[in-house]
């Protein structure tokens, strides 16, 4: 399925709104007002950003395709909301952002950021796309992309060549990975200069670029990017879709690609297709397309023979009956084993496994350059790295200077190191934000004529635990909010917005510890009773620099300091800075469950334990009704008060540490998870 250029461009322009559309709480009047104003008002008729949004949904999940042609008039706002809600709760939710990132890559050649494009420029791009040549190119590329999607994905940790392209009539590529040229000794007259190979490693991405000397210089650049993901076949189909950037070489690429595509796609259905065709047609299938074609690649022949056997069997009516009987018996057997033998059906996980491999890397270079000593024989590489995970990441890119070349220009802070005879260039990119690509460049000079120069860039995340976002910590779908949620949320967000310094410290602590910063905000909100200040600790809300009674004297020593380490203060321990209290708290929060909270249950349990757990409401003679708790901490007001309508009536058992309330007092402040929810719905 091709997303028209215009719609991609439109989505990029309206990305922020689309994010808000997907992430804010749709059950609030504010959301509906905003939606009406931004998307359904009569002034927005000229260019409705809903259309590109829906194109993207349809690209991610075909079930949304029928909506492409839907004209979402103001009367259909509720229908649209249902669609959004459905997508929010689907396992493809995250893919939206990946698809967006892919679209960004496709537009890299445009000389200005997309969010600065005017409507006229977008229109011009769209018109350019409508030429027959471009449409033909797009169709052929799309065919290829879908063929890649249809290939079975490799399992985790092994992806020898699945992420790469196959060009059957191209020369062998030197070295492993990257473009695979299996048969033809001659290089394509024009072809791809760049390809990305996914190595399947936990957080390492590679991309390869090949260039050749000895030809007339051309400036063609082709780029295939294959985002680095944890490989699960289901997930792979989405994330391996190559995004092409083909300013000039498209036609030549297309002809090669098409052949490769046909051959690749033929394999998978060959055996099964041949067998089924033949079985179904009583032997005629032995001459059918599937078996005949695939016998050439070695698999269809077997399919055809089996199909022929099946066909001869089915030609006898009695045998046919017997086969039906046998098939029925097998079904019966399977059902019986499932229901009566205690055999539980294995649940099929719908969610892709959590990953921290959220990198895409694209490398580009000229395809051909003249032979040295021509001064134009330099090969300039451009590496584009994009972090598509949550939070921020420090990323290290390394690139070994290819054989038979010497580096002549290293830009963007790259550092060249000599290890034996190999030279490696390293770039360190810190605090990369999601979906904000960065590029680095370097240039090499070939030292020999008529050579292929292959070059591999690698990238990895270096900042330890990947930072998760608040959305991972909330249940899906979100339960209805408590009464007056709009007011509660406003109070929470106002308090946080007034303390940008605190937010900066939460985020800093989050980068170091991996604990989502929203959770630290929630924790701090509870400890300070909503009076957030960067002068009050996350441990107890006491002023920074004061003794923290909850930190034992064994926790600090003279001369022992560092991020998150308490220091001796007076007769006890405390913190020198607000940041240290945030880091200390984040580590201790994780220590309550021995890992960084990664989901709703983790977060709630850890927060309750952080607060001592003594105020859990169930079995304590309170009117709180949602008992027993679904999991540890779910009945603790410090974690859950005002998170949703079922936690709007919680009670304090101990009015102070060790001092019991008699009777239990209504807990009137939002708990930490309500803060997380408010931040996520912003």
Partner 1 sequence: MIQKKYFFYLAVPIFFLIIFILLIVIPAFIPKASPPTASPLPSVSKNFEGGGNPVPMEQIPTISSKQGGGVDLNSQIVKDSATEISKLSTSLPFEQELVLSTGQKVSIIIPSSQYQTNPWTLTAQIFGINYQTSSDQADYEQAKTSFLEASQKIFEWIRSHGANPDKIIISWGDKQYIQQNAETWLKSK
Positions in the binding site for partner 1 (CB under 8 A): 316, 318-319, 322, 325-326, 329, 332-333, 336-337, 340-342, 539, 549-560, 565-571, 573, 587-588, 590-594, 609-610, 612-614, 632, 653-654, 657-658, 660
Short-list 592, 623, 624, CA closest to 605: 592
To partner 1, the closest distance from the beta carbon of 671 in angstroms equals 17
To partner 1, the closest distance from the beta carbon of 629 in angstroms equals 12
Give CA angle at 344 (338, 348), nearest 5°: 110
Query: What does the block give as tokens for 319?
Result: 């045998």
Q: Which is nearer to partner 1, 259 or 334 (CB)?
A: 334
Q: Position of tokens 């399925």?
A: 1
Q: Which is nearer to partner 1, 176 or 614 (CB)?
A: 614
Short-list 480, 477, 473, CA closest to 646: 480
Is residue 296 within 8 Å of residue 327, measured between CB atoms? Answer: no
From residue 387, give the alpha-carbon distance in Å to each of 18, 97, 429: 19, 11, 11
Backbone torsions φ then ψ of 440, nearest 5 degrees: -130, 155
CB atoms within 10 A of CB 77: 15
To partner 1, the closest distance from the beta carbon of 9 in angstroms equals 45
Short-list 211, 204, 247, CA closest to 226: 204
Short-list 357, 359, 379, CA closest to 368: 379
To partner 1, the closest distance from the beta carbon of 392 in angstroms equals 21
Is residue 647 within 8 Å of residue 607, measured between CB atoms? Answer: no
Q: Which is nearer to partner 1, 341 or 421 (CB)?
A: 341
Q: Which is nearer to partner 1, 57 or 573 (CB)?
A: 573
Q: Which is nearer to partner 1, 399 or 527 (CB)?
A: 527
Short-list 661, 671, 670, CA closest to 621: 661
Burial of 406 (C-beta count, 10 Å sphere; 0-12/13-18/19+): exposed
CA 633, CA 602: separation in Å to the nearest integer? 9
Is residue 406 within 8 Å of residue 447, measured between CB atoms? Answer: yes
Q: Which is nearer to partner 1, 281 or 632 (CB)?
A: 632
To partner 1, the closest distance from the beta carbon of 323 in angstroms equals 9
To partner 1, the closest distance from the beta carbon of 669 in angstroms equals 19
**3-state DSSP call for residue 349?**
coil
Q: Which is nearer to partner 1, 342 or 347 (CB)?
A: 342
Q: Which is nearer to partner 1, 259 or 655 (CB)?
A: 655
CA 211, CA 209: separation in Å to the nearest integer? 7
To partner 1, the closest distance from the beta carbon of 291 in angstroms equals 25
Q: Which is nearer to partner 1, 534 or 585 (CB)?
A: 585
Query: What does the block give as tokens for 498?
Result: 């007034």
Q: Which is nearer to partner 1, 262 or 337 (CB)?
A: 337
Q: Which is nearer to partner 1, 69 or 318 (CB)?
A: 318
To partner 1, the closest distance from the beta carbon of 606 in angstroms equals 10
CA 682, CA 674: separation in Å to the nearest integer? 12
CA 155, CA 670: separation in Å to the nearest integer? 44
* H or E segment and range at residue 385: strand 379-387
To partner 1, the closest distance from the beta carbon of 195 in angstroms equals 39
To partner 1, the closest distance from the beta carbon of 382 in angstroms equals 38
CA 257, CA 222: separation in Å to the nearest integer? 13
CA 575, CA 556: separation in Å to the nearest integer? 10
CB atoms within 10 A of CB 7: 22
To partner 1, the closest distance from the beta carbon of 432 in angstroms equals 24
């Amino acid at each position: 399925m091709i997303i028209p250029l215009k719609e991609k461009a439109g989505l990029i322009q309206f990305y922020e709104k689309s994010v808000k559309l997907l992430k804010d709480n749709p059950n609030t009047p504010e959301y509906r007002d905003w939606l009406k104003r931004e998307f359904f008002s009569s002034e927005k008729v000229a260019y409705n950003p809903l259309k590109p949004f829906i194109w993207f949904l349809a690209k991610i999940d075909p079930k949304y395709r029928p909506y492409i042609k839907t004209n979402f008039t103001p009367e259909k706002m509720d229908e649209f909301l249902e669609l959004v809600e459905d997508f929010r709760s689907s396992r493809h939710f995250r893919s939206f952002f990946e698809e967006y990132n892919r679209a960004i890559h496709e537009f890299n050649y445009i000389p200005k950021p997309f969010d600065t494009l005017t409507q006229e420029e977008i229109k011009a791009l769209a018109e350019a796309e409508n030429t027959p040549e471009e449409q033909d190119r797009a169709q052929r590329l799309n065919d290829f992309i879908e063929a890649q999607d249809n290939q079975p994905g490799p399992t985790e940790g092994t992806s020898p060549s699945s992420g790469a392209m196959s060009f059957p009539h191209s020369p062998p590529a030197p070295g492993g990975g990257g473009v695979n040229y299996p048969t033809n000794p001659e290089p394509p007259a024009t072809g791809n200069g760049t390809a990305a190979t996914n190595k399947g490693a936990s957080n390492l991405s590679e991309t390869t670029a090949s260039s050749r000397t000895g030809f007339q210089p051309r400036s063609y650049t082709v780029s295939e990017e294959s985002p680095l993901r944890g490989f699960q076949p289901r997930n792979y189909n989405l994330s391996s879709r190559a995004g092409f950037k083909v300013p000039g070489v498209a036609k030549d690429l297309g002809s090669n690609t098409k052949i490769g595509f046909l051959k690749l796609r033929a394999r998978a259905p060959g055996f099964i297709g041949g067998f089924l065709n033949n079985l179904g047609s009583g032997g005629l299938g032995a001459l059918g397309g599937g078996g005949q074609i695939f016998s050439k690649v070695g698999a269809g022949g077997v399919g055809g023979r089996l199909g022929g056997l099946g066909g001869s069997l089915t030609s006898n009516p009695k045998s046919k009956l017997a086969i039906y009987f046998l098939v029925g018996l097998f079904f019966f057997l399977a059902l019986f084993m499932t229901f009566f033998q205690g055999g539980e059906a294995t649940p099929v996980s719908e969610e892709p496994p959590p990953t921290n491999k959220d990198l895409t890397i694209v490398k580009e270079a000229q395809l051909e350059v003249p032979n040295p000593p021509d001064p134009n024989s330099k090969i300039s590489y451009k590496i584009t790295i994009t972090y598509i995970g949550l939070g921020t990441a420090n990323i290290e890119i390394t690139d070994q200077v290819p054989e038979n070349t010497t580096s002549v220009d290293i830009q963007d802070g790259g550092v060249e190191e000599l290890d034996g005879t190999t030279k490696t260039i390293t770039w360190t990119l810190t605090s990369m934000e999601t979906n904000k690509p960065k590029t680095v460049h370097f240039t090499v000079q070939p030292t020999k004529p008529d050579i292929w120069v292959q070059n591999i860039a690698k990238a990895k995340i270096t900042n330890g635990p990947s930072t998760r976002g608040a959305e991972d910590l909330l249940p899906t779908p979100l339960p209805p909010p408590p009464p007056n949620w709009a007011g509660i949320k406003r109070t929470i967000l106002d308090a946080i917005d007034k303390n940008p310094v605190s937010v900066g410290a939460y985020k800093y602590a989050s980068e170091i510890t991996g604990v989502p910063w929203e959770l630290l905000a929630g924790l701090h909100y509870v400890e300070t009773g909503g009076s957030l200040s960067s002068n009050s600790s996350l441990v107890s809300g006491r002023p920074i620099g004061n003794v923290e009674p909850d930190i034992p004297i064994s926790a600090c020593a003279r001369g022992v300091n560092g991020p998150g380490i308490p220091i001796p203060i007076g007769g006890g321990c405390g913190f020198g800075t607000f940041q240290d209290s945030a880091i200390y708290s984040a580590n201790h929060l994780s220590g309550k469950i021995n890992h960084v909270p990664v989901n709703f249950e983790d977060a709630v349990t850890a927060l309750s334990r952080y607060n001592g757990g003594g105020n859990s409401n169930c079995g304590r003679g309170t009117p709180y009704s949602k008992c027993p708790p679904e999991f540890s901490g779910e009945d603790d007001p410090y974690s859950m008060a005002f998170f949703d309508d079922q936690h709007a009536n919680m009670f304090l058992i101990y009015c102070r540490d060790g001092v019991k309330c008699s009777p239990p007092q209504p807990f009137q402040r939002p708990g930490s998870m309500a803060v997380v929810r408010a931040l996520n719905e912003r």
